[in-house]
């Protein structure tokens, strides 16, 4: 009889324990698609956001154009951070983004970068460094889907060096891969994001010349919360953190210009 009583008690307790389980997990989970120029900056931001809030973030880095194509076809992300604000604007127009969440979080910049030990005096030669006799391969991001690739082409055309180096171009799938090409010897020189060039790993292993901003279209970078986001509340919390003094401080440290709307944080 005691055994039967014990079993009955155990059975009755099961629904109580199971029913309580969802309340034990309050933390949100986010899936973010982000332009690869955010690689180093976002690793800092995500780590701090997770520490402060207890939420978890799954970060996917790649080219903005490729992410746009995936999101247009229903890829399951909560937030999209693009190196070209035009992509999230198009998602908003297509009804795939939460109305009113579009936000210009930064303005990107480009540099000509060479590894340490290179015979190219990039700081003195500037964009003409691409024409140095030692250069056999020039790395840029693929302009078909990477905003930084389009900026690189525009800058080369502005300084009238594109025609002389176009046959030497090596195209990275995104700006991080472009940087890797130069770092690993797959290219002798390249045009990459300033945000990557000032990161500790690249700052220690190379030298760069910043391309004047008037040489290429303004790289306005934008974010949006997607309509398919599973956790709108946590997505908004992350976007709010990006807008906060802590978030903007990280962007400043990685060489981004901040939009005028956040000028008070400067």
Mean pLDDT of successive 10-residue segments in the chain (266 residues)?
Answer: 41 38 58 97 97 96 97 96 98 97 97 97 97 98 96 98 98 97 97 96 94 97 96 96 96 89 36
Read off the pTM.
0.85
Burial class (CB in 10 A: 0-12, 13-18, 19+), 246: middle
Q: Give the pLDDT confidence score for residue 23 in this predicted structure.
A: 34
- Rounded-to-integer distance, Cα 76 and Cα 60, Å: 11
> 3-state DSSP helix/strand/coil percent for the chain, to nearest 5?
50, 20, 25
Q: Give the pLDDT confidence score for residue 14 in this predicted structure.
A: 39
Which element (helix H / strand E) includes 107? strand 103-108
- Rounded-to-integer distance, Cα 25 and Cα 144, Å: 43
Pair 69, 265: CB distance under 8 Å: no
Q: Give the pLDDT confidence score for residue 201 in this predicted structure.
A: 86
Q: Give the pLDDT confidence score for residue 15 in this predicted structure.
A: 40
Place of tokens 């309340």: 23
Q: Give the pLDDT confidence score for residue 259 in this predicted structure.
A: 78
User: Which residues, including other chains, have CB under 8 Å from residue 86's CB and lie 6 or more apart?
Assistant: 222
- Rounded-to-integer distance, Cα 63 and Cα 49, Å: 23
Two tokens, residue 214: 């008037």
């Amino acid at each position: 009889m005691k055994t039967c009583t014990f079993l009955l008690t155990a059975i009755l307790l099961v629904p109580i324990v199971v029913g309580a389980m969802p309340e034990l997990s309050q933390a949100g989970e986010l899936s973010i698609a982000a332009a690869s120029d955010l690689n180093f900056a976002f690793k800092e931001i995500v780590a701090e956001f997770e520490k402060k809030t207890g939420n978890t973030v799954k970060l996917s880095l790649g080219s903005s154009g490729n992410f746009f194509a995936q999101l247009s076809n229903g890829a399951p992300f909560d937030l999209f951070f693009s190196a070209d604000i035009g992509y999230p604007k198009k998602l908003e127009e297509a009804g795939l983004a939460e109305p009113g969440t579009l936000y210009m979080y930064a303005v990107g910049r480009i540099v000509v970068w060479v590894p340490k030990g290179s015979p190219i005096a990039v700081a003195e030669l500037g964009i003409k460094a691409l024409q140095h006799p030692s250069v056999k391969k020039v790395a840029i991001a693929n302009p078909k889907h990477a905003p930084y690739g389009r900026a690189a082409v525009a800058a080369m055309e502005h300084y009238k060096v594109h025609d002389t180096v176009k046959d030497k171009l090596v195209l990275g799938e995104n700006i991080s891969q472009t940087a890797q090409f130069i770092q690993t010897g797959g290219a002798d020189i390249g045009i990459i994001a300033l945000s990557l060039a000032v990161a500790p790993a690249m700052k220690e292993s190379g030298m760069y010349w910043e391309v004047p901003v008037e040489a290429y279209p303004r790289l306005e970078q934008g974010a949006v919360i997607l309509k398919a986001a599973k956790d709108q509340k946590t997505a908004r919390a992350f976007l709010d953190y990006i807008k906060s003094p802590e978030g903007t401080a990280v962007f400043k440290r990685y060489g981004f210009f901040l939009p005028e709307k956040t000028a008070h944080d400067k």
